[in-house]
Amino acid sequence: MSISVKFFASLRERIGIDSRELEAADVNTVSDAWLAATGKTMEDNILFAVNQKYVAVDSPVSDGDEVAFFPPVTGG
Amino acid sequence: MLIEVRDEAFDPWQELKDYERKCLTKGSFGASANFVGTMRDFNEGNTVTSMTLEHYPGMTEQHLQTIADQATQTHNLLDVLILHRVGPLQPGDPIVLVAVWSAHRAAAFNACREIMENLKSKAPFWKKENLADGERWVESNTPG
């Protein structure tokens, strides 16, 4: 099982990780991917995407997926 | 329809003129509305000297495309143009251009607003401001 995890903006700086490849067998959801990548409990106010689409925190992830975590967006 | 994330400064009025000339037939639309967002030199009581805009390459473009497609369907638009800057910006630099074309004014006004609000609340972009005494991430957008 290989999952690519990405972090953006202030979250990337705070956690100190840009991206990470997970090879864990026990990563089944977005929240599992967070824990496996950071080793920390999930922060509040974070947005999640799987394969570049918004999802909920308990959404499933599967082999080859790209999971992204980022803070509230501030474009425009 | 054109959706682009640009890493270089652009002139929204020139872009608008060029796009309309190239992609829209004269007489085919009765209304157009556009919004230009520009970088301010102040935020939350501080002077902002410059700014850096980050995005999520791939997801950002895809999300803008979805927003434009939804607005086109809802408001029966004839065409949509969205340009958004990333990278380093100076006060006064245009950040975003949204332009829509339709048969009548209600669709143009409503769609332009709807696209902007959706972009502000959901499109993955992040601003980092440079102040006189350091830098900070913008934590949330102004309500309107």
Q: Is B22 helix (H, G, I), strand (E, B) or coil?
A: helix
The answer to whether the CB atoms of B54 and A8 lie below 8 A apart is yes
Predicted TM-score (pTM) of the model is 0.95
CATH of the domain at B50: 3.90.1170.40
Q: Is residue A75 part of a domain?
A: no
For residue range B69-127, list pLDDT tens digits in order: 999 999 999 999 999 999 999 999 999 999 999 999 999 999 999 999 999 999 999 99
Compare CB distances from B125 to A47, A53, A73 and report the shortest one's residue: A73
For residue range B19-76, list pLDDT tens digits in order: 999 999 999 999 999 999 999 999 999 999 999 999 999 999 999 999 999 999 999 9
pLDDT for position B141: 86
CATH of the domain at A40: 3.10.20.30
- Which ipTM score applies to this complex? 0.95
Size of interface A-B (CB pairs under 8 A): 74
Q: Is residue B13 part of a domain?
A: yes
Closest-CA distance of chain B to residue A55, Å: 12
Nearest chain A alpha carbon to B122: A73
Q: Is residue A76 part of a domain?
A: no
Count of CA atoms in the C-beta half-sphere (13 A) of B63 = 24
Structural domains counted in chain B: 1
Q: Residue B18's domain spans which residues?
A: 2-137
Q: Residue A25's domain spans which residues?
A: 3-70
Task: Give the span between the Cα atoms of A17 and A36, in whole angstroms.
Answer: 13
Interface membership of A73 toward B (CB under 8 Å) = yes
